[in-house]
Amino acid sequence: MTTPNALEFDVDENVSLNLSYDPTWLAILRATDPLTSVNKSNIYMPSQHTRSERWDFRPTEEELTKVEEIYDGDFTIPRNFKMTAWPHRADGIDDSSQELYYRNPQSTEFCAKLGIKDLNEMLCSLSMNGLGIPYYINKNSDSESVLKSRTFERKEMVPSNFTIILSILFAIYKQIVEQFTNLLKVQVGALSRFVHCQTGSIEYAELRQCVDQLIRRVAGLDEVTQMDSKMNLIEETLNNVSEAYEKVSKVLIRTQREVQEKEVHMEHSSPDDIADEVQDLENELEEIQAAHAEEMESMQSKYEYQLKLLRERLEHEEHRRKKAQEELQTLNSLNDHSLSTMKKTHEEMLSGTKATIRGGNCCAA
């Protein structure tokens, strides 16, 4: 039996032996990221029969360029491996935690850099049951007694105290996130109703645009599945809501100050001052009415003059029409007379011709 020849490659001795990512594969991961989901419902892949959804995920030049920018042209896979599952024991004592699920730091770093969803983290966020502690965190406690006790606990299907605590903490954390989300919805809703009731101010118009953006952001929180990312968004949104409330407070204080100044001015005004202001307003109104009357009179004179010109032109056109009609009648009369004369002359010539012909026939006979 002959041993097959192995493939041989000429490799420079000084070259570094590193693995690298495929830019095309990275671009496809970014393009297909919206399809990543942990929902248990049926998900249908897009096809060429779908009109409003992309189904051909071959990367474009722009997508490849974006990947090139993200990695700065260096696609070398980093040597950041960390062991998560517990290693196999040759003596037959296996750590039962190998059946658990672990958070993967390499996947987290990779997805964060590429800007895509971390499926590993999404699965870990669904439930704390079956979620183990990575080996690289507590590898120092890798003793035979610990392994035996962990194996026994696993066989008895009794979760460790640490797992129970993690489950409780995760449930509390999830509840806190939901409460913060509901609180944001209430605050933004109240803020929206207030600013949309205010009219006639440019500042409130700007606030309405800001609040509308906050409403869209809060509505999008329900679609975020990763608790850490959701909490970061909630914190950022809370800061934005606080800033919006501060802006509203400043506008209200300024408006209240203006109203108070007007009230103080009215309180310190004497009846004579008020009478003078009323008289000034009446004088201004009379001036406006006088100017308006002069303007109306000027416009009336202008329109009357234009109307006079139109009437004169109408009379002139009517005179021309009558004259043209008379000339037409005269021409018709002349034409009738000419036709009668020509007809009479033609008949006389015809009679003379006939008489001449009869006289010639008699002479011939």
**Which pLDDT does position 200 carry in this prediction?**
59
For the chain, list residues with pLDDT below 50: 97-98, 142-160
Q: Which of 264, 283, 305 is the last residue of a domain?
A: 264
**Which pLDDT does position 243 carry in this prediction?**
81
In a domain, 355, yes or no: no
Query: How much of the chain, in percent, has pLDDT values that exceed 70?
Result: 75
Alpha helices by DSSP H, listed for the chain, are 23-31, 61-71, 105-114, 119-126, 144-155, 161-197, 202-219, 227-268, 271-364
Structure tokens at 336: 């009738």
The reply to whether 35 and 119 lie within a common domain is yes
Contact between residue 131 and residue 81 where contact means Cβ atoms under 8 Å apart: no
* The total number of residues written for the chain in this structure: 365
In a domain, 154, yes or no: no
Give the integer Cα–Cα distance in Å for 147 and 159: 14
Give pLDDT tens digits for 17-36: 788 999 999 999 999 998 88
In a domain, 353, yes or no: no
| pTM given for the model | 0.39
The reply to whether 71 and 172 lie within a common domain is no
The reply to whether 106 and 186 lie within a common domain is no
The reply to whether 67 and 122 lie within a common domain is yes
Q: Which of 228, 246, 264 is the last residue of a domain?
A: 264
**Which pLDDT does position 161 carry in this prediction?**
52
Please provide the distance, in angstroms rounded to a whole number, between the alpha carbons at the two ends of the chain. 151
In a domain, 294, yes or no: no
In a domain, 32, yes or no: yes
In a domain, 256, yes or no: yes
Contact between residue 78 and residue 113 where contact means Cβ atoms under 8 Å apart: no
Give the integer Cα–Cα distance in Å for 291 and 298: 11
Cα separation values, 176 from 183, 248, 337, Å = 10, 28, 116
The reply to whether 239 and 183 lie within a common domain is yes
The reply to whether 123 and 27 lie within a common domain is yes
**Which pLDDT does position 252 carry in this prediction?**
77
Placement of tokens 């062991």 in the chain: 83
Cα separation values, 39 from 157, 172, 210, Å = 27, 22, 33
In a domain, 250, yes or no: yes
In a domain, 292, yes or no: no
**Which pLDDT does position 270 carry in this prediction?**
62
The reply to whether 27 and 123 lie within a common domain is yes
- The count of domains in the chain is 2
Q: How would you write 43-92 as a 3-class SS string?
A: CCCCCCCCCCCCCCCCCCHHHHHHHHHHHCCCCECCCCCCCCCCCCCCCC
**Which pLDDT does position 148 carry in this prediction?**
45
Its domain, for residue 235, covers: 168-264
